[in-house]
Chain A
Amino acid sequence: MEYLWIIPFSPLVAFIIIGLFGYKFLREPLSGIVAVIGVAISAVASIIGFIDVAKTGNYYDLKLYNWMSIGDYNISVSILWDPLSALMTCVVTCVSTFIFIFATGYMKGDESYPRFFAYLSLFVFMMLMLTLSDNLVQLFFGWEGVGLASYLLIGFWHYKKSAANAAMESFVVNRVGDWLFLLGILLAFVTFGTLDYLQIFNKLAGVDYVIITAIALLLFGGAVGKSAQIPLHIWLPNAMEGPTPVSALIHAATMVAAGVYMVARLMPVFASSEVALDTVMFVGTMSAFIAATMGLVQNDIKRIIAYSTLSQLGYMFAAEGLGLFSEGMFHLTSHAVFKALLFLGSGSVLIALHHLLDIQKMGQIGRAMPITTGTFLIGALALAGIPPFVGFFSKDPIIEGAYEINTFVFLFLWGGAFLTAFYIFRLFFLTFFDGDRLDPHLREHVHESPPNMTIPLIVLATATVVLGFFKEFFINFLKPSLDPAYMKFLPNDVKALVSEGLSRAHHVHIEPNAFSFLGHSLTSFLGILILATAIAGITLAYVMYQIRRIDPVKIGDMFQPIYKLFYNRWYFDHIYYAIFVYGYYKLSKVLWFVGDKVIIDGIVDGSGKGSVFAGGVLGKTQLGRISGYVLQMLIGVVIFLSLFLFLK
């Protein structure tokens, strides 16, 4: 398995080549091609590794390079290749490959074309360092690295003030989470004396419950920041200022899923603490529901999909909190595919409409762009959870599992499913069908995108249709990483502990086979209820925005306070602005006055003023008369002479 080192370092090589020679030699098409080749190589390598793990169910822990030693513990750059990391790595590299191909079309003609692909390659390298890591330090390295790449790419068009601000916001909000994450790592090191996952898992059995809970919660704090869960979600919608391939890759498919991946990776730690699992569950549930309500009333095409990302990440966390880790990871995989598809579809629309974002000003562009419309429809159906698309097979098990485990969580996830279906089809009808609200000048230029943009759409759409039927394969594939009974690297006492932690999900039986799950859904009351909810959401969107039987403006007026609450995003931004931005500004002003104005300026100005005052006083002794000077000199001479004589 030595060839696995190619996976992270191939994009790094691409980054270095483009970074050094991008502007001088490679320029527009070549730098994109180099980036695509770099990520394609790692995609092929990870698929080969994936097949190996799928056959054997083994895990490999490769130490590539000894980074530094702390006492007895060596921090190493390493690769932990087990089903979980193999799946995540495959998702990252494969989705990246298609998004890179799409980006070669999307970024056409941009003056910073090489820089864009250099950043993207850097991002993929960092993301792979994160997924492949076998210890918390390398994970944190990748974690910060993807944060940096995200910052650079959100602010890619840095001459736009809104983009620069959004980049800053995402970086600062992520720092809050990363600070907690770092504290979690430190506490883990103090507790276990090691940061390698496998060694931590081995030592779990004897550790105090409170400390495990604290470690898990602190690490989860980092995940809340990175995966944009409530209350640290505010950066993700604003991050849509970046180019659309960035939104698709970083802010939908991969980076924001890093938090979900991290929780799954450290499943034994989280499963050892009921409080931690409950926290994950409730934060995920609330994010899933609240973000969906925010998405209902937005008008920016990319922001709606961004809120949908928040909401779907919430479903993943809720699944993990419910103990359904495999279902959570399967939803991550399926979400990466269909959300990348939705984002790329919206990118295709933006190119056709010259970066018009407001869906209220679009309409009836479906006929001009058949491929984009068709693939977007597939993505939207998958998001809404309609069979046979992959979203149905990944989201329904979570909701059904919630029904068995926790009624509160079920109600919110169920409501969220209705809202999801509604908002995504509101977007779909307003953009591609409905009345003609488009500016006539733009209307003339609406055209289907070139093949290097449509082919990724078609591939991702195909994956969205097909992937769901591999549900059983994925669930079984993940068992050696996420099911305590099959985990080879856990000792028996930890297995018992983890199994006890996951006992809340033990009575849940979800059909692993896709066909029997479909059959079960169509016959049982619960399955029909969830399916009917999704269809009701789509129908309502159809009635309101396509045939216009119900006027959405009137509905908005009828529920004025709720509408305002949703439209203003539950006032999260306002509250944060009032407390942190304004409070920080006030605090800075106080510190400026006390520290700068009074103390530092006081010292500097004071020494100047003191000198002037002393000069004024001593100047009075200078009379300007020669006799006076001579007398002073005489006195001085006498004093020194007498001193000389007496002290001798």
Chain B
Amino acid sequence: MVPYEYYVALSGLLMVLGLIGVIVRKNVIAMLISTELMLNAVNIAFVAFDVKLHDVVGQVFVFFILTIAAAEAAVGLGLIMAIYRMKKDVDVEKLTELKG
């Protein structure tokens, strides 16, 4: 059996990749995908610790997160569509309305 540390390490790796993706990517859709990646990293961590602790609460949580991730993807894509209609662009470098 694969020890749970590997799963946790995988989860951490995915999390960092997702973060880096959010920070460095300029395309909003790519950033959204990176966010999904981070969510899934959390899912893996939940399942891994569940196996270790012999608990099922984490696995139930995973289903909730999957559901929310689907909803979030729908809302996120909707927002991106709205931004695209307004700006004809999805480049975050040009979306700086909040600049102080």
Q: How far is the CB of A452 from chain B (nearest CB, A)?
A: 85
- Collect the chain A residues with CB atoms within 8 Å of residue B24's CB: 627
- A630 to B23 Cα, complex, angstroms: 7
- Collect the chain A residues with CB atoms within 8 Å of residue B92's CB: 625-627
Would A620 and B100 count as touching, CB distance under 8 A? yes
Q: Does B99 contact A (CB under 8 A)?
A: yes
Residue from the list A618, A619, A631 in contact with B23, Cβ < 8 A: A631
- Collect the chain B residues with CB atoms within 8 Å of residue A624's CB: 95-100
Of all chain B residues, the one with the shortest Cβ separation from A634 is B19
Would B19 and A622 count as touching, CB distance under 8 A? no
- Collect the chain B residues with CB atoms within 8 Å of residue A622's CB: 98-100
Residue from the list B19, B22, B31, B96 in contact with A623, Cβ < 8 A: B96
Chain B positions 76 through 100: 1 when the CB is less than 8 Å from some CB of chain A, otherwise 0: 0000000000000000110111111
Of all chain B residues, the one with the shortest Cβ separation from A627 is B23
Chain B positions 24 through 42: 1 when the CB is less than 8 Å from some CB of chain A, otherwise 0: 1000000100000000000
Of all chain B residues, the one with the shortest Cβ separation from A628 is B23
- A625 to B91 Cα, complex, angstroms: 11
The bracket for how many chain B residues form the interface is 10 to 19
- A620 to B97 Cα, complex, angstroms: 14
Of all chain B residues, the one with the shortest Cβ separation from A617 is B100
Within 8 A of A (CB), among B55-85: none
- A623 to B98 Cα, complex, angstroms: 7
Q: Does A523 contact B (CB under 8 A)?
A: no
- A623 to B99 Cα, complex, angstroms: 5
Q: How far is the CB of B88 from chain A (nearest CB, A)?
A: 19
Residue of A622, A623, A626, A634 with most chain B CB atoms under a 10 A cut-off: A626
Q: How far is the CB of B48 from chain A (nearest CB, A)?
A: 19
- Collect the chain A residues with CB atoms within 8 Å of residue B100's CB: 618-624
Within 8 A of B (CB), among A185-211: none
- A439 to B96 Cα, complex, angstroms: 88
Of all chain A residues, the one with the shortest Cβ separation from B96 is A624
Within 8 A of B (CB), among A308-327: none
Q: How far is the CB of A628 from chain B (nearest CB, A)?
A: 9
Chain A positions 161 through 192: 1 when the CB is less than 8 Å from some CB of chain B, otherwise 0: 00000000000000000000000000000000
- A631 to B23 Cα, complex, angstroms: 7
Would A630 and B96 count as touching, CB distance under 8 A? no
Q: How far is the CB of A642 from chain B (nearest CB, A)?
A: 16
Q: How far is the CB of A621 from chain B (nearest CB, A)?
A: 7
Chain A positions 615 through 648: 1 when the CB is less than 8 Å from some CB of chain B, otherwise 0: 0001111111111001100100000000000000
- A625 to B22 Cα, complex, angstroms: 11
- A627 to B23 Cα, complex, angstroms: 4
- Collect the chain A residues with CB atoms within 8 Å of residue B23's CB: 627, 630-631, 634
Contact A626-B31, Cβ < 8 Å, known A619-B100, A620-B100, A621-B100: yes
Of all chain B residues, the one with the shortest Cβ separation from A620 is B100
Would A630 and B22 count as touching, CB distance under 8 A? yes
- A626 to B94 Cα, complex, angstroms: 11
- Collect the chain B residues with CB atoms within 8 Å of residue A618's CB: 100
Q: How far is the CB of A518 from chain B (nearest CB, A)?
A: 103
- Collect the chain A residues with CB atoms within 8 Å of residue B19's CB: 630, 634
Of all chain A residues, the one with the shortest Cβ separation from B99 is A624
- A619 to B98 Cα, complex, angstroms: 10
Q: How far is the CB of B80 from chain A (nearest CB, A)?
A: 12
Of all chain A residues, the one with the shortest Cβ separation from B26 is A627
Of all chain A residues, the one with the shortest Cβ separation from B93 is A625
Q: How far is the CB of B29 from chain A (nearest CB, A)?
A: 13
Q: How far is the CB of B89 from chain A (nearest CB, A)?
A: 14
- A630 to B34 Cα, complex, angstroms: 13
- A70 to B100 Cα, complex, angstroms: 69
Residue from the list B22, B97, B98, B99 in contact with A627, Cβ < 8 A: B22
- A623 to B93 Cα, complex, angstroms: 11
- A227 to B97 Cα, complex, angstroms: 79
- Collect the chain B residues with CB atoms within 8 Å of residue A619's CB: 100
- A522 to B48 Cα, complex, angstroms: 136
Within 8 A of B (CB), among A589-624: 618-624
- A623 to B97 Cα, complex, angstroms: 9
Of all chain A residues, the one with the shortest Cβ separation from B34 is A630
Of all chain B residues, the one with the shortest Cβ separation from A625 is B96
- Collect the chain A residues with CB atoms within 8 Å of residue B99's CB: 622-624
Chain B positions 14 through 26: 1 when the CB is less than 8 Å from some CB of chain A, otherwise 0: 0000010011100
- A622 to B98 Cα, complex, angstroms: 7
- Collect the chain B residues with CB atoms within 8 Å of residue A623's CB: 96, 99-100
**Apart from A623-B99, A627-B92, 13 more pairs, CB < 8 Å:** A618-B100, A619-B100, A622-B100, A624-B97, A624-B100, A625-B93, A625-B96, A626-B22, A626-B95, A630-B22, A630-B23, A631-B23, A634-B23
A-side interface residues toward B, CB under 8 Å?
A: 618-627, 630-631, 634
Supply 26 A–B pairs (Cβ within 8 Å), ascending by A: A618-B100, A619-B100, A620-B100, A621-B100, A622-B98, A622-B99, A622-B100, A623-B96, A623-B99, A623-B100, A624-B97, A624-B98, A624-B99, A624-B100, A625-B92, A625-B93, A625-B96, A626-B31, A626-B92, A627-B22, A627-B92, A630-B19, A630-B22, A631-B23, A634-B19, A634-B23
Q: 10 closest A-B pairs (Cβ-Cβ)?
A: A624-B99, A622-B100, A619-B100, A624-B96, A624-B98, A627-B23, A626-B92, A630-B22, A630-B23, A631-B23
